[in-house]
Structure 1
Amino acid sequence: MADAGVHTATAADLSEIVRIHRETWRLAYAQLLPQEVLDTLDTDEAWALAVQQGAVLKATEGEWTVGFVVASKAPDDEVAKADGTLPADAETTALVSVLVEPRWGRRGHGTRLVAEAARRLVETGATRGIAWVPEADKASKNFYERLGWTGDGTVRTLDAGGRPLREIRVSGPLAVRLDD
């Protein structure tokens, strides 16, 4: 494998991040989401704000950007329990979302991304991470399980263009071990 790394995303990386997001979701979620939803994924402006806030890290292999992670303090509505109450660690819980292009998968990029994001989050006082995963997305669930993250019993159903999309919330420690 060519040199692999994790770097803070900059404005110069926006077009690649948007491309990876759109293409990967169109491939991975074609059976879960209607085409009209896939055609209207997050705008460049939404990604620009996340990059500007320093919440996006990119994975590289050689000269290629192959994936990214968005990680920051979890908003209260994302970390709340099913009954709407906040857990005791709500202020130190981070929301994490990782995406690696399938053609670059199984090369450690996702784990490296989450490990670096976790390291940075811990430096800011975060103690736990959460992520939302479509219930039918076995690959993502398996990825988070390998990190030691498990379903915490919270589910939500989103309106995905008139089609319900059920997601589970996984939660785990911000101590991600990289295999040598």
Structure 2
Amino acid sequence: MVDAFVRPARADDADAVARIQLETWRVAYARVIPEDVLAALEADDVAAQWRSAIVEPPTPRHHVLVALEGDAAVGFAAAGPATVEDLVGPGYASEERGGDEWDAKALAVSTLLVEPRWGRRGHGSRLLAAVADVAREDGFTRAVAWALDADQATRSFLESTGWAPDGVGRVLDMNGTEVPELRLATTLTDA
């Protein structure tokens, strides 16, 4: 049996995280994200951004987690306190923020990716469970995640674990191409 687990990312994971992001986006989102946007992504630049997020997160409640199978990094998740932009729409009162830039009770899962060739092995579930554990430790009571409207796989995965669309959407402008996203939400209860 192969050892599979999730741990906090370390600075030396940044190259693997960037590789996973780029390979996953280029395979899974090739029909959604404009080709010129994908082509412009440089591995070194993406790795530098992830290294910064891992080593110097915006707050102590921001986390990058990496999924491993044996010695291979196969997926990752990034999450932290939600912002006003994450919590637009009905059902999200800004008074919980207390004047802070970050929401005190709502977590935003900004990224959860498993490299396609490592899919269907439980890595996404392990990552999501680890994110929920860290979120509860940090005092979050609810969570949101944005999924590309065309990304049925991510939406189905999140819905199968208790997340649900909450009726809020947004449109990203990617070099003049409008890419719609849908927000999913869940309540974080003790496991």
Q: TM-score, normalised by structure 1?
A: 0.90
Bigger drift between 150-159 and 85-94 goes to 85-94
Instruction: Give the superposition deviation at 1:88.
Output: 5.6
Partner of 2:118: 104
The number of residues matched between the two structures is 177
Q: CA 1:27/1:175 → structure 2, altered by over 3 Å: closer, same or farther?
A: farther
Instruction: Give the superposition deviation at 1:82.
Output: 6.4
Distance in 2, Cα, partners of 1:95 & 1:6: 19
Q: CA 1:21/1:175 → structure 2, altered by over 3 Å: closer, same or farther?
A: farther
Percent same amino acid among aligned pairs? 41
**Secondary structure at 1:32 match in 2:** coil
Which letter maps to 1:93? A
TM alignment of 1:12-91, pairs within 5 A: 12-41=12-41, 43-52=46-55, 53=57, 55-81=63-89, 86=94, 90-91=103-104
Distance in 2, Cα, partners of 1:176 & 1:105: 27
Structure 1 gap segments, 5+ residues each: none
**Secondary structure at 1:39 match in 2:** helix
Bigger drift between 121-130 and 39-48 goes to 39-48
Distance in 1, Cα, partners of 2:172 & 2:107: 21
Distance in 1, Cα, partners of 2:167 & 2:94: 14
Instruction: Give the superposition deviation at 1:87.
Output: 7.5
**Secondary structure at 1:153 match in 2:** strand
Q: CA 1:82/1:165 → structure 2, altered by over 3 Å: closer, same or farther?
A: farther
Q: Is the 8 A contact 1:150 1:171 kept in 2?
A: yes
Q: Is the 8 A contact 1:144 1:150 kept in 2?
A: yes
Q: Is the 8 A contact 2:141 2:189 kept in 1?
A: no
**Correspondence 1:10 to 2:24:** no
Which letter maps to 2:47? D
Q: Is the 8 A contact 2:77 2:127 kept in 1?
A: yes
Q: Is the 8 A contact 1:80 1:87 kept in 2?
A: no
Q: Is the 8 A contact 1:92 1:126 kept in 2?
A: yes
Q: CA 1:149/1:87 → structure 2, altered by over 3 Å: closer, same or farther?
A: farther
**Secondary structure at 2:104 match in 1:** helix
Instruction: Give the superposition deviation at 1:49.
Output: 2.2
Q: CA 1:168/1:6 → structure 2, altered by over 3 Å: closer, same or farther?
A: same
Equivalent of residue 166 in structure 2, options 138, 141, 152: 152
Q: CA 1:37/1:87 → structure 2, altered by over 3 Å: closer, same or farther?
A: farther
